[in-house]
Amino acid sequence: MAITVTDYQPDDTIAQDCYIYAMEADTAHNDTALWVGNLASSGYKTRTLIGFDWIWTKYANPKSYFLSDITVKLYVEAHQNTASRGILLYSIKRPFTETATWNKYDGVNSWQTAGGTGANDIEEYGTLYQQTQSGWYMPAVGNWQTFRYPLEYFLKCLRGEGHYGMFIRNGVYETDDYFSTRCSSSSSATAAQRPKYSFTYEPYHKIYLVKSGLGQVK
C-alpha cells in the first residue's frame, strides 16, 4: 500500500541543505538560512542547494518504490528589495555536501564553473513564476514557497545515476538586479519553520516461501 509523507520537517542532523555565496567564494554556509538572489548587487549572488539522500536512507531500506515528485516547501523569513522575478530550478549533477562553496561542491573539488552553473554541474528542469503579494517573486514574509523536484531526477539520485539534489537560483535578472529572499534552513532554531518535504512511496516487501507452498509477506 502506498504511503504519503506530508510536510515532514527533518532537522540538520538528517537533512542536507546549504547556500553558496559569490562574495565568500571559499566559505561554506551551512547555517540557519537559505538565500536566493543578489544580496546587494550583481556580484553578490546566492544560490541554494538541497539534497535528498536522507529520504532514501530513512524511508527506503532495503528498497522501496517512489511514486511521486518530491516537493520542498521553504519558509520565507525576509526579502531584500522585492521584485517580480522567475526562479530557475535545476538538478545537481555533483555529489555536493553541506561544506559546498561557490568554488567547490564539497569544499574540496571544484565545480566545472564557479557558482555551480556548468553543464557538468547542473541540469535545468523548470522555471518557477510566483507572482503574489505586491508582485513579489516569492510569497510574503511568513508564508511558504513550494519547489518541485521531478520523480525522474529523484530516481536517478536513488540509482546512483549522477544526480544529487535540487539547485535553486534567480532567473535572467540575476546578473543585474538587487533582490533576494531568505528562507529557513533545517538548522533553524524554530522547528516549525524548517523545510517541509512531501512524497509518496510504496514500501518494499520481502516474500518468503514456506513449506505449505504459501507465501508469507513481511
Domain count, the chain: 1
Domain containing 83 — which CATH number? Answer: 2.60.120
Single pTM value for the model: 0.88
Instruction: Quick: pLDDT tens for 90-146.
Output: 999 999 999 999 999 999 999 999 999 999 999 999 877 554 434 446 778 899 999
Question: Using one digit for the tens of pLDDT, what is the confidence trace for 45-90?
Answer: 999 999 998 888 888 766 788 999 999 999 999 888 765 567 889 9
Q: Which domain holds residue 121?
A: 3-217
Whether the pLDDT of residue 175 is over 80: the answer is no
The CA distance from 182 to 75, in Å, is 9
pLDDT at 163: 96
pLDDT at 97: 97
